[in-house]
Structure 1
Amino acid sequence: MHFLDQAKIFLRSGAGGPGAVSFRREKYIEYGGPDGGEGGKGGDIVFEAVPGLNTLIDFRYTQHFRAPRGKGGAGSNRTGAGGEDLVIKVPVGTQILADDEDRTLLADLAEVGQRLVFLKGGDGGRGNASYKTSTNRAPRQHQQGWPGEELWVWLRLKLLADVGLVGLPNAGKSTFLNRTTNAAAKVGDYPFTTLRPQLGVVRHKGREFVLADIPGLIEGAAEGAGIGDRFLGHVERCKLLLHLVDAAGDDPGEAYAVIRSELEAYGAGLEAKAEVVALSRADLADPDALGAAKAAIRSIGRGDPLIISAATGDGVDALLDTIVEKLGEDRGAEQQEGTGERAWSPL
C-alpha cells in the first residue's frame, strides 16, 4: 500500500427535497383542502476516525464526495425521505484544514471512533399544507429545499505513535526498527533509504508501544533541503523522541547538534519533548571513537547517550528498558496533572 499523508478533496452535503403541492380529493369530504407534505432533509457529510488505516491513498483516486439530497414531499401530508449521511472514513490522526493560505485547522480526529458532522445537509422545503390560513384556504405555493454546503478542504495525516525515531540519514534507524518490530523497513548503504514514515509495534517485557520512523533529516531541512521537514508532523504527537546518532560518523557531536537545530526550527513543541539519545552502529566504531562521541554529546548538555548496535543487538534491550521507563513516567504525570481523562494511546 502506498503512503500518502496529504490530500485535497471536495465536499458537498445534500440539498433538502422540495415541498409538495397537493389537495385532498376524496369522495364525500367537502373542501378537502391542501395536504402537500414537506421535503426531506439532505444528507450530512460525516468524518469518522477508524483503526487499521495509516494512509490517505484512497483520496488520491476519489476526490469528490457528495451526499444525496432529500426526497420531495407528497400528498396526504407525507414528508419526503431524508438523504443518507455520507460517512468518510479516515485514519486516526487526520486533520481537516481549510483551503486557504494559512491552512486553518478546522478539525482534528485524534481518537478511535471519533465522529464529526462536518457539513450539514439542507432542510426540506415546505409543502402547501403549511401555507394554509383562514384567508388562504387553497394555497398553491411551496418551497424548494434548502441547498447543502460545499467546501474544498485538505486532509493531513499525523500518525499516532508513542516514540518518534529521528536522526540523520544512514544513522541506523531502519535497522533499529527492523530489529525491534516486524515492520520490514528497507535498509541500504545510501542516504534516504527511507522515503516515507514507517510504523512498528515494539513488544518488550510485557509492554507494547508504537514506534514511528521518519525519513532522515539533513541540515537545512526546515528550509526544504533534502526531503525537507514535512514528515516531522508525524512525530508531533509522540510522547518521546528517540534520537539515533551514528557512532561511526565523522562528527557525532555535530550530527546531534544539526538534528536538534532542525527540531527547534520546525517548532510545534518538538524541541521540548522528552528525548532518549543513543549512539548507533557501535559495532563499526572503535572504543576511542565511542568515548569521543559520548563526550561530544555530553558537552551539549543532554547527558550520556546509550550505546547500541541494531545489527548485532548489543545494547538494544537496555535502550528499550529506558524507553519503557520514560513512557511509564509520562503516563503517570498525565494521570496526576489531568482530570482522569487522557488522549488515546496504543499502550
Structure 2
Amino acid sequence: MGQLVGHRTAVRLRAGRGLDRGGASVKGLEFWKNVSIGRYVESDSPVHRLAPATKYLWLLAIMIPVSSSRSAVVVCASALLPLVFAVLARVRIRFLLRGFLPVLPFIALAATFQVFLSWPGDASPVLAAVGPVSLSLREAVAVVMMAVRFAAMMLAIGLFTSVTNEGDTARGVEDLFSPLARIGFPARSLALTIAVAFRFIPIVAGEFESVVKAQAARGADFGTGSRGPIRKAKAYLPLIVPVTVRALERAESLAEAMEARCYGSGPATRYVDSGGVATDAVARIAAIAWIVAAFVAPALIASVS
C-alpha cells in the first residue's frame, strides 16, 4: 500500500513538473492574436461601405507600385496608403501591425541575404564592416526598400481582409472577372477559391496554436525561452503533420457543408447587390489614377531633370 501511494505521489510530481514546463512553454505561443490577415473588423466606416470590386481595385493600386516601381518615393507613398485607409476605416493600426510578428524572422533572414550577397559594381560608401563582411549604402537602401515593400503588401492585405467579409471577398472577385465569364472563364470558382484561402489563414493559425498548446501542456518544449532559431524550428517540425490533418478535416467539413447546400448545382443568385454607387465610381477613378501616376510621374521627373 505504501509503495502504491509513493508511486502515485511520484506520478503527480512528474505530471506537475510537466505542467510547469508546459505552462512555461505555453507562454508566448498565442499565434491567433498575432494574425490580422483574414480577420474581419465589423464597422460602418466609408471604407467598409465601398463595393468589394472597389476594394480589390485599391488593393491592386497599392500592390502594383509597391512590388514593381523602382522609385523609392512611389514605394514609400504607396506604403502609407494602407495606414490612411486604416484611419478612415476605424481599424486600429496596432491590430494590423501585429500581423508582422509571425513573419519577422523571414524578413530578418531575407535582409541577411541582402547584406551578404555581393553587388557587382557597387561603388557606394561603406557604412559598416565586420571582417570580410561590409554594409554599403546601396545594400542598406536595398534592405530598407525590401522591408518597406514587404510591410506595405502585408498591411494592404491585412487591411483588405479587415474591411471585407468572406461573402464580399468572393463577390468582388466575381465582379472583377464577370466580363470574362461570358467566354467561359470560371469567375465564380476563382472567387470561391480566393475567399476560402483568405478565410483559412486564421483557421490554420488557430489550429496550430491549439496543437502547440496541447503538446506544451504535456511537457513538450518548443524553445520559447531560447533565442536559437534552429532549436525552435526543430521543435515545431513534428507539428506539421497534426496541423495539416486538422486543416484537411476543416476543409472536408467545408466541402460537405457546401455539398449539403447544393453548391454548384445551378446558377447562383445574390442576396446582396454589390454594384456600387457614386462613391465607388470616384474611388475607382482615383485608384486607376494612382496606378498611372505611380509609373508616369517618375518617368516625367527623370525626363525633365
Q: TM-score, normalised by structure 1?
A: 0.22
Please identify which structure carries the higher helix content.
2
Please identify which structure carries the higher strand content.
1
Larger radius of gyration: 1
